[in-house]
Chain A
Amino acid sequence: MPESPFDALLSRVRQIDGFLLGCIVDASTGTVLGSAQDQQDLSLPVAAAGATDLANVISLMASGLAADGGLEDVIITLSGHYHLIRQFSPAPKLRFLLLVVLDRTHANLAMALRELRDFDLGAAVRPDPALPGHPRGV
């Protein structure tokens, strides 16, 4: 079976220094769409569900604040790991999360963030100024 488009996307983030786990999650439903894992003792379902919960709560907060923009990324620093969550939209009505877990002893946070943003630019549709605001004010 050929690799899925999600696996193809993840093969790019697998090159980030300190990579332990990566997955693409549907931000709407919390479904894991694709995953890559170098360290099997990390629970992928728990990491993905935690990332979805965070993105969900931050989106509710941004909506309530009318913050003139949606979630871009979340950085979580644990004593041993970085959890980086990047939201991107491959189509106007889709919101995906890219979660990458890195080993702090081998990762460079600034470089990793740069690489995730480059990934985002390559994978996502950028907001079209001709489209109704996404997000939009009410």
Chain B
Amino acid sequence: MKVEREQGPAVYFQREPLVVRLSRLAEAGRTGVLRVSGDDGGAIHLDEGAIVYAESRRTPGPDRWFAHLAEPVPDTLPPEPGQGPGVAPGNGAAPVADTPAFDRDLAWAYVVREATLDAALELLSGRPRYALRQRFRDSEPPITHGMAGWPLAELLAEVERRQRLMRQMATAPVPLTADTPLVRVPDLATPRMQVSALQWALLIRVDGTATPRTLAWEIGNGVFATTLEVFRLIALRFLTVAQPAASRNPPPPPGAPARPEGEAVPGGGRPVVSFLRAVDP
């Protein structure tokens, strides 16, 4: 391992906490890429100390996201395993002919920004980042199509806000994380409800094994945004979390029927996250 130097065009490795390393690079006004190794690694791109882009192996990139932004969604829910045909939505919408026009500049700016925040949340959260080898290389900044980079303090404030929201969801009556398997609630409590296009796209893909993260990759959306949207579907009682086999405790008494695989966890109350509490705890 080479010794850390913050001056000069060199490649060098470090194992100090990622946020500390990032702070030093930002303060020094460096331009280049900080790569983090490992299965949950990624890269953070800096331009004169500002964070212009980040990518993680565990979050979808902006190109995947952009490609799915306006794609049509099917009109029926797929049938549950072993059940009849899918459920049609109330008003029998017409099939989609073409992708509608939308503001592509705005949408691209949005997906680059969200993909960066999603990746930054992933890279700066979770297990201690000491263990991950980091490598910084001076290079040209990526093309950002006019999007300004973040000062590191602003990026960290946004990451911290998202971490607080994730903690709210993880401690809710129906605890949810980005990697929690989901199941559909078989019987709706009310005869008629409505969902957004994004919520519909999620609902039709929940099969007992899907998690917010796998759904995000499938529909081309942020992991954080998908987790929040799933949480709203749990609040609406369309979805709940599947009970993992390992947590089925205590075991059923002798003679009692065993709980089926993927059984829903009963939730109490209507879980709601507070964005206000996340910025002003």
A and B: bona fide binding partners: yes
B158 close to A1 (CB less than 8 A):
no
| Interchain CB contact under 8 A, B107 and A137 | no
A129 to B: closest C-beta gap in Å: 8
B146 within 8 A of A: yes
Residue contact B236 to A64, C-beta cutoff 8 Å:
yes
A-B contact count (CB 8 A): 177
Which residues 196-232 of B have a CB within 8 angstroms of A?
Answer: 196-198, 200-201, 203, 221-222, 224-225, 228-229, 232
A134 touching B275 by the CB < 8 A rule?
no
Known: A60-B235, A63-B236, A134-B196. 10 other contacts (CB 8 A): A5-B105, A6-B109, A30-B165, A30-B278, A92-B197, A93-B221, A132-B93, A137-B89, A137-B91, A138-B203
Q: CB of A80 within 8 A of chain B?
A: no
B236, A94: Cβ atoms under 8 Å?
A: no
A49 shortest CB reach to chain B, Å: 4
In the complex, the answer to whether B106 meets A6 with C-beta atoms within 8 Å is yes
What residues of chain A have their CB less than 8 Å away from a CB belonging to chain B?
1-6, 9, 26, 28-31, 33, 45-46, 48-50, 52-53, 56-57, 59-60, 62-64, 66-68, 70, 90-95, 123, 125, 128-138
The answer, yes or no, to whether B190 is at the interface (CB within 8 Å) is yes
- Is B69 an interface residue, CB under 8 A from the partner? yes
B79 within 8 A of A: no
Q: How far is the CA of A64 from the CA of B74 in the complex (A)?
A: 22
> What does the 1/0 interface line of B107-142 toward A look like (CB < 8 Å)?
101100110010000000000000000000000000
Q: What chain A residues lie within 8 Å of B224 (beta carbons)? A: 29
Tell me which of B70, B114, B232 contacts A31 (CB under 8 A).
B114
Docked-complex contact A49 and B197, CB < 8 angstroms:
no
B residues 91-106 near A (Cβ < 8 Å) are 91, 93-94, 96-98, 100-103, 105-106
Residues of chain B within 8 A of A128, CB atoms compared: 100
B70 & A92 in contact (Cβ 8 Å cutoff): yes
Closest residue of chain B to A69 (Cβ to Cβ) is B194
27 inter-chain pairs at a CB distance below 8 angstroms, sorted by A residue, are A3-B146, A4-B146, A4-B148, A5-B106, A28-B198, A29-B162, A33-B113, A48-B275, A49-B276, A50-B275, A56-B275, A59-B232, A63-B195, A63-B236, A90-B102, A91-B102, A92-B102, A93-B68, A94-B69, A94-B107, A95-B196, A123-B106, A132-B74, A132-B197, A135-B194, A136-B194, A136-B200
